[in-house]
């Protein structure tokens, strides 16, 4: 990927102001390319996130036979059909993207050819067994390095056995891998998730004409079922703004006194809005305006003003609806009045970095007091000056953007070792923040 890009961020002298739009939703963008490649016909995608992670998925689907082009109007994908992808001539490099690697594993499991997948140093350290263990039940074979890490070889099957699987961890990536394998399996695929996770795969499969049955599980969670082999028909997709990206300008506006911003067209899928709920509980001056349906997804405009935040207790079962937002929420908690407890964050340990440890380090380096008790993070709340630290981002875009937000509200400048990985999910982040008046000198 890009060379290292260090950045020093000083306090924003004035509040943020103005209207903006964040790039397209990363989860929906990956899925739109994958499902369009599996569909029969031509799909147009508008608003696709053109970040490095999604571009890796586009390259992989091209290597598997789909024709994918883009122009100023959007992206066009000529699909191959379920079961009709072709053996790639070279290694599939999924870069920094866990979503790309995990979801594609499901697709490759039920195609009758052999492929090899790798990624960057961060992705090569992340656990793949969570998908290879269940997907082995289809009859596909996986050969991984170092107890389940990439690179891995996948020998798929054209006669996949359908899986019936209860997720041991709350993971939309694992759920999606199993459902995608089920598209070309012989019979009923069933996934049970004890806690509901983002349902973009289910929603988009329906959009492409697949029958997906979803029923509630006793005691919470959901059962998701589909019958293979099935066919997908090309359908155009409009990608909403990514709530996980909106989190950064949003929290910055809440923390910088005098701010008043509107982020337009943000996706409001209820399985993604845990951060907004939490910020409201903290007393944020945040309103969601113009709620509407765009391209089949609920979207709205986030209107945020500088706020006096107070500490919060976030329950563990909220984690799946805001899993990528904890680093920036922890930053907000460091500026809040009174302590916060963020519960049940074990999944943060297996993201692009060990995000639990790295978030604690980010805050401590800048004068905040933080404790970890089991999988809970306790942030003491503001008591003295903040900032002045050096932040190590470990190839993790969310840490880099969280450090920028911390720096914009800090008393002393924050040094960030590398902001290059922001390109994976939020191209143009610094420019967007500066257009709102952040005054970051790159």
Ligand X SMILES: O=C(O)C1=C[C@@H](OP(=O)(O)O)[C@@H](O)[C@H](O)C1
Query: Residues annotated in the binding site, as ranges?
Result: 26-27, 31, 98, 126, 171, 173, 324, 351, 355, 398
Please report which helix (H) or strand (E) contains residue 304, including its range: strand 297-305
CB nearer ligand PEP, residue 282 or residue 323: 323
Which span sits near ligand X by CB under 6 A: 165-173, 255-263, 288-296, 302-310? Answer: 165-173
Contact track, ligand X, 276-315, x by CB under 6 A: ----------------------------------------
Answer for which of 20, 171, 259, 402 binds ligand X (CB under 6 A) is 171
| 390 bridge partner residues | 415
Q: Which of 3, 4, 59, 40 is nearest to 232 (CA)?
A: 40
Task: Pick the binder of ligand PEP from 32, 97, 245, 273 (CB under 6 A).
Answer: 97
In the complex, residue closest to ligand PEP by CB: 98
The contact mask relative to ligand X for 312-341 (x = CB under 6 A, - = no) is: -----------xx-----------------
From the number of C-beta atoms within 10 Å of its C-beta (0-12, 13-18, 19+), residue 285 rates as: middle
**Which among ligand X, ligand PEP, none contacts residue 27 (Cβ within 5 to 8 A by kind)?**
ligand X
Which residue of 31, 56, 382, 398 would you call a contact of ligand PEP, by CB under 6 A? 398
Query: What DSSP line would sit under 363-396, residue for residue?
Result: HHHTT--EEEETTEEEE----S--B--EE--TT-
Is residue 31 at the binding interface for ligand PEP, with CB under 6 A as the rule?
Answer: no
For the chain, what percentages of helix, strand and coil (3-state, to nearest 5) are there? 35, 30, 40
Residue with tokens 């790159």: 442
Task: List binding-site positions for 3-phosphoshikimate.
Answer: 26-27, 31, 171, 173, 324, 351
The residue among 268, 255, 269 whose CA lies nearest residue 200 is 269
Q: How many CB atoms lie within 10 A of CB 71?
A: 7
Q: Binding partner of residue 355 among ligand X, ligand PEP, none, CB under 5 to 8 Å per kind?
A: none
Instruction: By CB under 6 A, name the one of 12, 27, 96, 278 that touches ligand X.
Output: 27
Instruction: Work out which of 12, 132, 176, 402 binds ligand X, going by CB under 6 A.
Output: 176
The entry of ligand X, ligand PEP, none that residue 352 binds, CB within 5 to 8 Å by partner kind: ligand PEP
From the list 22, 34, 135, 172, which residue makes contact with ligand X (rule: CB under 6 A)? 172
> DSSP 3-state assignment of 308?
coil
Choose the contact partner of 49 out of ligand X, ligand PEP, none; CB within 5 to 8 A by kind.
none
Nearer to ligand PEP among residue 12 and residue 176 (C-beta):
176
Residues contacting 265, CB < 8 A, separation 6+: 21, 240, 241, 294, 299, 301
| Binding residue count for ligand PEP, defined by CB under 6 A | 9
Our measurement of the distance from residue 372's CA atom to the centroid of its chain's CA atoms, rounded to an integer in Å, reads: 24
* Least gap, CB of 385 to ligand X (angstroms): 32
Q: Is 93 considered catalytic here?
A: no
Instruction: Please tell me which residue in 324, 371, 375, 417 is annotated as part of the active site.
Output: 324
Phi, psi angle pair for 164, to nearest 5°: -125, 115
Strands across the sheet containing 222-228 = 164-166, 187-193, 222-228, 213-216
Closest approach of ligand X to the CB of residue 198, in Å: 6
**Binding residues among 321-340 for ligand PEP as defined by CB under 6 A:** 324
Cβ-Cβ contacts under 8 Å for 303 (sequence gap 6 or more): 261, 262, 286, 287, 288, 289
Q: CB of 120: closest distance to ligand PEP in angstroms?
A: 10
Task: Note the maximum CA span of the chain.
Answer: 62
Output the CA torsion sign for 163, 166, 169, 173: positive
Q: Which residues lie near ligand X (CB under 6 A)?
A: 27, 99, 171-173, 176, 198, 323-324, 347
Q: Which residues lie near ligand PEP (CB under 6 A)?
A: 53, 97-99, 324, 351-352, 398, 425
- The residues that are catalytic are 324
């Amino acid at each position: 990927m890009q060379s290292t890009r260090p950045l020093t961020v000083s306090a924003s002298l004035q509040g943020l102001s103005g209207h903006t739009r964040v790039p397209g939703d990363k989860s929906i963008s990956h899925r739109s390319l994958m499902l369009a490649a599996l569909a029969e016909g031509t799909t147009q995608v508008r608003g696709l996130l053109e970040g490095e992670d999604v571009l890796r998925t586009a390259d992989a689907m091209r290597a598997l036979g789909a024709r994918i082009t883009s122009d100023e109007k959007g992206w066009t994908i000529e699909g191959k059909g379920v079961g009709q992808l072709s053996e790639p001539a070279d290694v599939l490099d999924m870069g920094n993207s866990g979503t790309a690697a995990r979801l594609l594993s499901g697709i490759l499991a039920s195609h009758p050819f052999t492929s090899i997948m790798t990624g960057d140093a961060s992705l090569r350290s992340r656990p793949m067994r969570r998908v290879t263990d269940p997907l082995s039940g289809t009859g596909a074979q996986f050969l991984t390095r170092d107890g389940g890490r990439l690179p891995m070889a996948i020998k798929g099957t054209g006669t996949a056995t359908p899986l019936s699987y209860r997720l041991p961890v709350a993971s939309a990536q694992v759920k999606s891998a199993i459902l995608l394998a089920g598209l070309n399996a012989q019979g009923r695929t069933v996934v049970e998730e004890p806690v509901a996770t983002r349902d973009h795969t289910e929603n988009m499969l329906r959009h492409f004409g697949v029958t997906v049955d979803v029923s509630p599980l006793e005691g919470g969670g959901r059962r998701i079922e589909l019958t293979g082999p099935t066919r997908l028909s090309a359908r155009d997709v409009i990608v909403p703004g990514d709530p996980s990206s909106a989190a950064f300008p949003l929290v910055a506006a809440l923390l910088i006194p005098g701010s008043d911003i509107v982020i337009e067209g943000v996706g409001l899928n209820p399985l993604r809005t845990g951060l907004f709920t939490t910020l409201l509980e903290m007393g944020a001056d945040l309103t969601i305006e113009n709620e509407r349906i765009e391209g089949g997804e609920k979207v709205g405009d986030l209107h945020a003003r500088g706020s006096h935040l107070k500490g919060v207790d976030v329950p563990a079962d909220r984690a799946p609806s805001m899993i990528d937002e904890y680093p920036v929420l922890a930053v907000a908690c460091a500026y809040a009045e009174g302590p916060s407890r963020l519960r049940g964050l074990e999944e943060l340990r297996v993201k692009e970095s060990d995000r639990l440890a790295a978030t604690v380090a980010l805050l401590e380096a800048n004068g905040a007091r933080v404790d970890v008790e089991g999988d809970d993070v306790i942030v003491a709340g503001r008591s003295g000056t903040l900032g002045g630290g050096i932040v190590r981002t470990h190839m993790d875009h969310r840490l880099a953007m969280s450090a920028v937000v911390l720096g914009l509200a800090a008393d002393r400048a924050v040094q960030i070792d590398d902001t290059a990985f922001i390109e994976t999910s939020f191209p143009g982040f610094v420019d967007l923040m500066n257009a709102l008046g952040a005054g970051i000198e790159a």
